[in-house]
Structure 1
Amino acid sequence: MGQTCEDPRVNDLRVRPATEADLSTLVRLRDDAARWMLARGITGQWQPGELDESHFRRVMTHGEVWLAEAGGRVAGAWELWWEDEAAWGPQPPVAGYVHRLMVDRSTAPPGTGRRLLRSAEHRVAAAGRTYVRLDCLAGNVPLTTYYRGAGYRVVGRKEGKPQPGGTPKSFTLLEKDLGELPETRPGGCWTSESSVRS
């Protein structure tokens, strides 16, 4: 999994699988994003210090973690899971589940979050899946609105989803049908390195 992807649909962003060498960067991105939310009164979604390197290492083993760079600097990252029974229950293998969409607000150009999300959607489509699913804290109106603006629709609510080292929380479940994407396969980006792990 050493290939770097330059996808014209994400403009100047270069997307690549995260590696062990990126673990501290991923923790920093997550903590910075948590602080950014808290500074804007968005409480309950994420807390600084909640996840450590072992979390991202585990996701790399059972799913995928992608890192985006712009101008040689880290711009953001996201996790991609191929199942999420804690939120969605048992499901047929038709979706990819995006978690921890994070943007480095000190270096990323405007619109990076949407471009990262679009890149994740293309990755899911390249794996032959037809839906992208995600969740956000129930009551987080700004984030729900953000995802709805990106073409996601609210399809349910999960009460009492377990949290890393914390009290279970309730989440809004959102989904996007990839059949609605104008093009779903970024040429040359998602090749054999991108096979779905089960």
Structure 2
Amino acid sequence: MTFNQANKSDLTSIIQLLKNASIELEEKGIDQWKYWQNPPKEKIDWLKQGLLNNEFFFVTENERVIGMFRLLYEDELYWGKQNDKAGYIHSLVIKNEFKGRAFGNKIVAKIETYLLNNQVSLLRLDCVSNNKGLCSYYEKLGFKKVGEVQMPLSLNNLYEKKLN
């Protein structure tokens, strides 16, 4: 499994991955990411900024894209100003045909190793608070809920994991 940095020309592919994930969630009765089915300008701008900052990565296995994520080192939008050095995961998506093979666990573990190798000992992420299954999943990976943030489109739990 490898991580390949996305670039500006990948915007359409990223939007499609997010849209497909949104549709899959909706089909399961999970109210999350519906805005990706017809993304508002501020969400497109958020993606473009992440691409400009080299924060988006495609995850590949046997030369096939299986998913993607965004990795930031500051996240004032969701977390406010923080003093400690941390990595922030956003938009972690696994394509439906690759689910059930523990790729999510492997991706998070590989990000953790990367951060530790770069002297970053905290990993943070957020999750829509009403997606109980996903919240539980992150808690099983060792993340602790440390707060909540009300965003314009959702109430999100804030999770943190100390890396060692």
- In the superposition, the TM-score normalised over structure 1's length comes to 0.73
Return the letter of the residue paired with 2:2.
Answer: R
> Are the counterparts in 1 of residues 7 and 54 from structure 2 also a CA contact under 8 Å?
no
Call closer, same or farther: CA 1:137–1:109 in 2, change over 3 Å. closer
Counterpart selection for 1:36 from 24, 31, 35: 24
Q: 2:123 aligns with which of 107, 132, 137?
A: 132
**CA separation of 1:27/1:168 partners in 2, compared to 1, >3 Å: closer, same or farther?**
closer
SS in 1 for 2:38: coil
Looking at structure 1, the residues matched to 44 and 7 of structure 2 have their Cα atoms a distance apart, in angstroms, of: 11
Q: Which residue does the alignment assign to 1:67? A: 58
- Which residue does the alignment assign to 2:38? 49
> 1:56 Cα shift?
2.7
* Aligned pairs for 1:87-166 within 5 A: 87-107=78-98, 110-158=101-149, 160-161=150-151
Deviation readout 1:124-163 (Å, 9 max, x if unpaired):
22332110000111222111001011111111112x22xx
1:44-100 per-residue CA deviation (whole Å, 9 max, x = no partner) reads x20123267654331022351111111221111100111112222211141111000
Contact 2:6 2:54 in 1 (8 A): no
How many residues are paired up? 160
Q: Which residue of 1 aligns with 2:154?
A: 169
Q: How far apart, CA to CA, are the structure 1 residues paired with 2:161 and 2:86?
A: 9
Identity over aligned pairs, percent: 26
User: Do the aligned residues in 2 keep the contact of 1:83 with 1:93 (CA within 8 Å)?
Assistant: no
- Match of 2:96, SS state, is coil
Q: Name the larger-Rg structure.
A: 1
| Contact 1:151 1:176 survives alignment (8 Å) | yes
Q: For structure 1, which runs of at least 5 residues remain unmatched after alignment?
A: 1-12, 162-166, 180-198
Do the aligned partners of 1:98 and 1:133 also contact (CA within 8 Å) in 2?
A: yes
Instruction: Compute the displacement of 1:169 (Å).
Output: 2.5
1:178 aligns with 2:154: no
Segments ≥4 residues shifted beyond 4 Å = 51-54
1:12-56 alpha-carbon deviations (Å, 9 max, x no partner)? x1211112343222111111111111111110x201232676543
CA deviation after TM superposition for structure 1 residue 170, in Å:
1.6
Structure with the higher fraction of residues in helix conformation: 2
For the residues of structure 1 that align with 2:141 and 2:131, how far apart are their CA atoms? 16
Q: Matches of 1:96 and 1:147 in 2, distance apart?
A: 15
Identify if the C-alpha distance between structure 1 residues 56 and 66 changes in structure 2 by more than 3 Å, giving closer, same or farther. Answer: same
